[in-house]
Structure 1
């Protein structure tokens, strides 16, 4: 059993580390990464079967971040888990660095290059189908954005996953209701999102996507139905954990000023102190 206090403290520390990385680099998807931090924390510290010392272990669980632009939380978690030295975070988005603005599989722990939205689920369907054919027991997790649901390839992959009865595939939607130009309802309304996925043959579970403890419990219990893929509809707040960024569309891709950075770090440090 994973320590609840540990999970909560870890999610706050990951937020501090990714903010430091974005601030020093002068670039990054701040709001999006803060939004998915609890999901990544749950997966990497409480759910997935992985080995940082053997990142190509054949029986590892697979993770594909289809929502590739929100890479800062991903890099931070991978470094903290020991897939590569934490000092490399200082090179983020610098000339010659492997830590670019989207997942890059030259780095240990990254299964696939992603960034062009709509591709990650299709890749994951192939991985999950491969596991079935090879008699492997690993699960495949895929994180998507809610704005990404406008991509037609998402639904082609959803249909294929159901057809091939991929109960070893778990899709997760970071449902923060905002995308780069506005709310998902205004840009391309995708509601009712749960009913759409059910109609494609998936078992849909709704969860508080910023409750790391609840996420661990829900994700560890997947799959929920034999021969059916699982979709976790994770309701989140964009910019979660930093009050000035929460639910503000402009923080999709924005670097904090010196004053904003200090305010954000002070808030997060305060929360860490409370949990000690």
Structure 2
């Protein structure tokens, strides 16, 4: 699918803005992993609106495509996308962390559209491999996308999965790396350096494309070109910005998990939508 029209990209940008507002609103009454959630929004919006065969009427159809959010702490971005596409009732996001619903810090399969629980990092690439092998055995055409965090790549299971995926020639499997340069409250390159990341995946047998994960034209171009090469694991490294959309918290290690007051949420929403406001100072945010 090729979306190279300004009108179409504007539509995706509008959806992404609404999803970001959902993420911001979930960062209170207990908080959420806001920084990494905001970095993944554009890729998730594109995948669900333009690439994946997933919609409200086919969630149990064996011919549907699959998305596995391995970096499960990004679930506010996933649920916000679900709301904008009609997969989840918008008012349920207000139940975040309440005992009478299943919406909390990581994906739960009791929420329609969630394929698998995630939380402990590094596990879902292997789950994605199982699904991709099953599809191959059935001669199916389903696509399997597994979204990973860059810090998650410190888990050896991710690299074992890459080896297995290539051994079984799973070209129906796509790893999308949300490369926002941070893991928890530290820059990835200050802890366990990942670069040159593209070269590393290629050395494991994958075929790799690196893009700007906030540029819908580049996102569309990459996914429209899949498979890049038959018989290999497909990897898309999406360079992103932690906290994208909120300049006051972008690229900040201390804005990993945030628990804001109601007034702070209102200020952040004003910042998100570009309205005049007094920007938050580093001393006004409640962070855990």
**TM-score, structure 1 normalization:** 0.94
Are the counterparts in 1 of residues 150 and 177 from structure 2 also a CA contact under 8 Å?
A: yes
Q: 2:61 aligns to what?
A: 57
Query: Equivalent of 2:9, from 1, 4, 12?
Result: 4
- Tell me the distance in 1 between the aligned counterparts of 2:270 and 2:204: 45
Change (3 A) 1:50 1:177: same
- Tell me the distance in 1 between the aligned counterparts of 2:248 and 2:67: 30
- How well do the aligned residues superpose, as a CA RMSD in angstroms? 1.4
Runs of 4+ in 1 over 4 A off after TM superposition: none
Are the counterparts in 2 of residues 51 and 57 from structure 1 also a CA contact under 8 Å?
A: no
Q: 1:15 aligns to what?
A: 20
User: What's the CA shift string for 1:116-139, capped at 9, x where partnerless?
Assistant: 000111111111111100111011
User: What's the offset of the Cα at 1:33?
Assistant: 0.4
User: What's the offset of the Cα at 1:252?
Assistant: 1.0
Q: 1:134 aligns to what?
A: 138
Long gaps (5+) in structure 2: 276-288
Q: 1:274 aligns to what?
A: none
Matches within 5 A, 1:16-165: 16-23=21-28, 25-165=29-169
> In proportion to residue count, which structure has more helix?
1
- 1:187 and 2:208 matched: no
SS of 1:185's partner is: helix
**TM-score, structure 2 normalization:** 0.90
Q: Give the stretch that moved more between structures: 237-246 or 211-220.
A: 211-220
Are the counterparts in 1 of residues 212 and 218 from structure 2 also a CA contact under 8 Å?
A: yes
Change (3 A) 1:263 1:213: farther
SS of 1:37's partner is: helix
User: What's the CA shift string for 1:139-180, capped at 9, x where partnerless?
Assistant: 100100000110010011000000101110110100011111
Are the counterparts in 1 of residues 79 and 88 from structure 2 also a CA contact under 8 Å?
A: no
- Tell me the distance in 2 between the aligned counterparts of 1:243 and 1:5: 21
Are the counterparts in 1 of residues 66 and 115 from structure 2 also a CA contact under 8 Å?
A: yes
- Tell me the distance in 2 between the aligned counterparts of 1:51 and 1:35: 23
- Tell me the distance in 2 between the aligned counterparts of 1:55 and 1:269: 33
User: What's the offset of the Cα at 1:53?
Assistant: 2.2
Q: 2:216 aligns to what?
A: 212
